């Protein structure tokens, strides 16, 4: 069967077939959940926030003009809702430039024990969860949602060069950690 | 000694350098073991991140969202439609009665000439309206109208009850 595009599903929902919205929910729930889990660092918060995001998106469907891709529009809602959630939890939200300049030290944040390790992908996954919110959001959008730096810049409302800086910085931090822990050979 | 910056290595990894620059980097990587190690690690991180699996939302997540969508947006809309349709039927019935009364008055009055005063017409219309309404709501007619309204109320009550039942099922599901 031919897979319906997001735009076709949205048109159908607008025409009164509300149950078709479940196709959109099924299509985006896991990737959006991954993004929120990495940003909020909490599974329960991530799921509750994601439900709110889908409700927000439903109530704003009429304002979606289709100029941008639905995924970009939806992830903007997800990202901004996550920021609001973080702010409500009185976490420190820094502006774009300070986030780019944000220095994080995964080495001190993560005590890696080879004997406790189950597999490398789990290890990398845990490290990504340790990254600051914006950096882990970029990693999630770039690798899981396969978005381009341009699309990510639209979602996060920052410049493309800042997206690249944060992406590179995250990769470098992960790389430095595996070099320090002598895991390069294991990975190979 | 590191010859290549992290930025260059990342750009090389993402294929953002031109042919000449790429060839130059390749040459440096062949010569410098330190840079080669850094680049290999970066490439492996990129590979591992590409293989990263999405996290799964709970099994009943979609149902849960759709329940909330129904509760918040769909059901209130349906209820509004229901109330609007009942109100419309009531207004149409009332207008029908008024139209019937006016037409009865007009048909019973003699032909009007242009010279008649408007006030006389309005007075006669008013008096006629009262008379006709009295006639309409008395004796046999009253019982007919009463029956029609009772039927309307019964039908509305049935639909309202069904509506409430459906809402309860949706909320409880």
For the segment A3-14, what is each residue's pLDDT rounded down to a tens digit? Answer: 889 999 999 999
> Rounded CA gap, B40 and B50, in Å?
15
> Rounded CA gap, A105 and B164, in Å?
57
Residue A81 structural domain = 6-88
Residue of B nearest to A54 (CA): B65
What does the DSSP 8-state code read for residue B72?
I
pLDDT score recorded for residue A135: 94
> Rounded CA gap, A171 and A145, in Å?
17
Q: Are residues A33 and A77 in the same domain?
A: yes
Q: Is B54 on the interface with A (CB under 8 A)?
A: yes
Q: Is residue A102 part of a domain?
A: yes
Q: Are residues A100 and A173 in the same domain?
A: yes
Q: Is residue A1 part of a domain?
A: no
pLDDT score recorded for residue A115: 45
Q: Is residue A10 part of a domain?
A: yes
> Rounded CA gap, B71 and B167, in Å?
8
CATH code for the domain in which residue A162 is found: 1.10.10.10
pLDDT score recorded for residue B134: 77
> Rounded CA gap, A17 and B42, in Å?
47
For residue A13, give both structure tokens.
């929902």
Given A27, A53, A88, the domain boundary residue is A88
B124 pLDDT more than 60: yes
Q: Are residues A122 and A70 in the same domain?
A: no
A56 pLDDT more than 50: yes
B98 pLDDT more than 60: yes
B160 pLDDT more than 60: yes
Tally the domains of chain A. 2
**Average pLDDT of the residues in B84-107:** 77
Q: Are residues A74 and A149 in the same domain?
A: no
Phi-psi region at A31: left, alpha or beta (left = phi > 0; alpha = psi -120 to 50)? alpha
Give the whole-number percent of chain B exceeding pLDDT 70. 83
pLDDT score recorded for residue B173: 45
> Rounded CA gap, B96 and B102, in Å?
10
Q: Are residues A143 and A78 in the same domain?
A: no
Given A19, A54, A88, the domain boundary residue is A88
Q: Are residues A117 and A170 in the same domain?
A: yes
pLDDT score recorded for residue A111: 56
Mean pLDDT comparison of A99-113, B99-113, B135-149, highest-scoring range: B135-149
Q: Which of A23-27, A140-144, B87-91 has the lowest mean pLDDT?
A: B87-91
Grade residue B89 by pLDDT with cuts at 50, 70 and 90: confident
Asked if residue A155 lies in contact with residue A75, where contact means CB atoms within 8 angstroms, the answer is yes
Q: Which of A56, A60, A50 is nearest to A14 (CA)?
A: A60
Q: Are residues A26 and A51 in the same domain?
A: yes
Given A53, A88, A123, the domain boundary residue is A88
Measured between beta carbons, which residues in chain A are less than 8 angstroms from residue B53? 121, 125
Q: Are residues A75 and A115 in the same domain?
A: no
pLDDT score recorded for residue B136: 73
What residues contact residue A141 under an 8 Å CB cut-off, 6+ apart? A35, A75, A147, A151, A152, A155
Q: Are residues A35 and A106 in the same domain?
A: no
CA distances B81 to A12, A75, A122, B67, Å, are 20, 33, 52, 20
Q: Is residue A134 part of a domain?
A: yes
> Rounded CA gap, B125 and B158, in Å?
39
B68 pLDDT more than 80: yes
Q: Are residues A78 and A103 in the same domain?
A: no
Grade residue B153 by pLDDT with cuts at 50, 70 and 90: confident
Q: Is B15 on the interface with A (CB under 8 A)?
A: no
For tokens 């409430």, name the residue. Answer: B164
pLDDT higher for A185 or B13?
B13
Nearest to B57 among A30, A164, A179 (CB): A30
> Rounded CA gap, B31 and B51, in Å?
30
Q: Is residue A46 part of a domain?
A: yes
Q: Are residues A82 and A37 in the same domain?
A: yes
pLDDT in tens, B41-64: 999 999 999 998 899 999 999 999
Grade residue A65 by pLDDT with cuts at 50, 70 and 90: confident
Interface ipTM above 0.95: no
pLDDT score recorded for residue B161: 80
**Average pLDDT of the residues in A18-24:** 93
Q: Is residue A77 part of a domain?
A: yes
Residue A124 has φ and ψ, to the nearest 5°, of -65, -40
Q: Is B166 on the interface with A (CB under 8 A)?
A: no
CATH code for the domain in which residue A53 is found: 1.10.1740.10
Q: Are residues A109 and A68 in the same domain?
A: no
pLDDT in tens, A129-188: 889 999 999 999 999 999 999 999 999 999 999 999 999 999 999 998 888 777 666 544
Q: Is B111 on the interface with A (CB under 8 A)?
A: no
Nearest to A55 among B41, B45, B68 (CB): B68
**Average pLDDT of the residues in A19-42:** 94
**Average pLDDT of the residues in A28-35:** 96
What is the distance in angstroms between the Cα of B103 and the nearest Cα belonging to chain A? 42
Helices A160-180, B6-13: crossing angle, 10 deg rounding: 100
- With CB atoms and an 8 Å threshold, state whether A30 touches B55: yes
- With CB atoms and an 8 Å threshold, state whether A22 touches B46: no
Q: Which of B156, B139, B22 is nearest to B86 (CA)?
A: B156
Q: What is the largest CA-CA distance in chain A?
A: 58
Asked if residue A58 lies in contact with residue B70, where contact means CB atoms within 8 angstroms, the answer is no
pLDDT in tens, A76-125: 999 999 999 998 876 555 555 555 556 666 665 555 554 455 577 788 88
Collect all residues from A whose CB is shorter than 8 A from any CB in B. 18-19, 21-22, 25-26, 29-31, 33-34, 37, 43, 47, 50-51, 54-55, 58-59, 120-121, 124-125, 128, 139, 143-144, 164, 167-168, 171-172, 174-175, 178-179, 184, 187-188
- With CB atoms and an 8 Å threshold, state whether A184 touches B70: no
Q: Is B44 on the interface with A (CB under 8 A)?
A: yes
Give the whole-number percent of chain B exceeding pLDDT 90. 31
Q: Is residue A137 part of a domain?
A: yes
pLDDT higher for A97 or B102?
B102
């Amino acid at each position: 069967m031919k897979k319906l595009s997001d735009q076709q599903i949205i048109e159908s929902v607008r025409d009164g077939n509300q149950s078709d919205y479940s196709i959109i929910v099924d299509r985006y729930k896991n990737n959006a959940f991954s993004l929120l889990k990495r940003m909020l660092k909490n599974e329960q918060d991530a799921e509750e926030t994601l439900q709110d995001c889908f409700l927000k998106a439903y109530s704003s469907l009429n304002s979606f003009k289709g100029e941008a891709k639905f995924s970009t529009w939806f992830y903007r809602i997800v990202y901004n809702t996550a920021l609001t959630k973080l702010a409500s939890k009185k976490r420190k939200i820094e502006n774009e430039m300070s986030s780019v300049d944000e220095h994080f030290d995964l080495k001190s944040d993560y005590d890696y024990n080879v004997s406790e390790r189950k597999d490398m992908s789990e290890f990398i996954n845990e490290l990504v969860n340790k990254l600051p919110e914006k950096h882990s959001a970029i990693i999630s959008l770039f690798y899981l949602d396969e978005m381009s730096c341009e699309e990510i810049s639209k979602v996060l409302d920052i410049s493309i060069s800042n997206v690249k800086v944060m992406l590179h910085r995250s990769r470098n931090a992960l790389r430095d950690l595996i070099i320090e822990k002598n895991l390069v050979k294991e990975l190979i | 000694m590191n010859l290549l910056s992290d930025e260059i290595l990342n750009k090389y990894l993402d294929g953002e350098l031109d042919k000449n620059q790429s060839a130059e980097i390749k040459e440096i990587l062949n010569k410098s073991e330190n840079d080669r190690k850094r680049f290999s690690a970066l490439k492996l991180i990129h590979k591992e991140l590409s293989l990263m699996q999405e996290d799964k939302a709970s099994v009943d997540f979609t149902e849960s969202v759709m329940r909330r969508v129904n509760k918040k947006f769909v059901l209130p809309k349906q209820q509004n439609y229901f109330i609007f349709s009942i109100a419309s039927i009531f207004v149409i019935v009332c207008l029908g009665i008024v139209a019937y009364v006016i037409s009865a008055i007009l048909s019973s009055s003699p032909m009007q000439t242009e010279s008649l005063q408007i006030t006389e017409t309005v007075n006669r219309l008013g008096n006629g309206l009262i008379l006709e309404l009295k006639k309409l709501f008395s004796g046999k007619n009253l019982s007919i109208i009463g029956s029609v309204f009772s039927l309307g109320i019964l039908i509305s009550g049935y639909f309202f009850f069904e509506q409430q039942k459906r809402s309860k099922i949706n909320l409880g599901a």
